[in-house]
Amino acid sequence: MSFEVFPSKTEKAEDSMLKAVHALATLGPSFVSVTYGAGGSTRDRSLATATRIAREVHVPVAAHLTCVGASREQTLAMADKFWDAGITRIVALRGDMPNDAGKLDHPFEAHPQGYSCAAELVAGLLERHPFDVSVSAYPEMHPEAKCADEELAYLKRKLDAGASRAITQFFFSSDAFLRFRDRAAAIGIDKPIVPGILPVHNLARTKAMAAECGATLPDWIVDLFEGLDDHPQARELVSATVNAEFCRRLYAEGVREFHFYTLNKSELAYATCHLLGLRPVRENLLEQAA
């Protein structure tokens, strides 16, 4: 399994995020990924966060890297910084273009001297260094995609460029993922497609995130979590149980890797992993230090 975190804006939030990573690291994840803000807006903080996690938690780290708003030279210079810091895993993404308010509401425009898409970015990164590269996938289609077949062909292009795996956008229908996986196999995609799992921390926030990325939030999930925002302990119990059953369904269909979007919190991802039978394989370094 693997986990995703994002760079924090304050020292207090950074410490909280790091504690979450320490807790999740005891489960022996394949890696912890660190996001890269829209338009490269968290470029320096992403590097600092990824480096700190690698240095202090001693867990493999995968740094997100986008090509939006940057020349090839600038993008590869950032890749060099990650490589020199010992970060040899990259999640290669085209990236989104924010407006002045930070909302992702207008179409991608390639930098005149930049990479035009993630497939080109993957090839460029691997020409530069022998990174382990992951790319994105969308079981319910990217909001900008014209059709499902075209998007699937583009996923194959990214993987054929040298990526090792695809990590999906979060979704709430196991059938949607399984259909997507079967269609991918039918066109010759034989590299792992890792499902991205988003535990429901807050219903309103989950609704907003699903609407932004085009993920379908089923009515039964809305009904299940309705009214629980004021009961956080009950919500966490329900969320962990729902997520574990969701992952068990995928496991029964042959899925063996899961990527958890943690929102910088450890409890729900950890509880889900525990319900799936995972147990700590190493001690918490924070506890050792204490």
Which ranges of the chain does DSSP label H, i.e. alpha helix? 11-25, 43-57, 72-84, 118-128, 148-160, 174-186, 203-213, 219-225, 232-252, 267-275, 285-289
Q: What backbone torsions phi and psi does residue 123 show, to the nearest 5 degrees?
A: -60, -40
* pLDDT at site 287: 62
Give the pLDDT confidence score for residue 60 in this predicted structure. 97
Angle, CA 151 vertex, CA 243 and CA 253 arms, to 5°: 35
Q: Which stretches in the chain have pLDDT values below 50? A: 100-104
Residue 74's pLDDT is 94
Q: Which one-letter amino acid corresponds to residue 269? A: A
Span 85-114, pLDDT tens digits: 999 999 999 987 765 444 445 567 788 899
* Residue 40 confidence (pLDDT): 56
Residues contacting residue 130 through CB under 8 Å, at least 6 positions apart = 88
Structure tokens at 92: 């290669």
Report the distance separating Cα 193 and Cα 92, nearest Å: 15
Residue bearing tokens 């450890």? 266
Alpha helices (H) in 85-173, listed in sequence order: 118-128, 148-160
Contacts of 220 (CB under 8 A, 6+ apart): none
Cα–Cα distance between 35 and 4 in angstroms, integer?
7
The answer to whether residue 4 is catalytic is: yes
Given the residues 4, 120, 140, 236, select the one marked as catalytic: 4
Instruction: Show Cβ contacts of residue 163 under 8 Å, excluding neighbours closer than 6 positions.
Output: 92, 122, 133, 134, 135, 191
- The answer to whether the beta carbons of residues 82 and 121 sit under 8 Å apart is no
| pLDDT (0 to 100) of residue 226 | 94
Say how far residue 240 (Cα) sits from the centre of its chain: 19
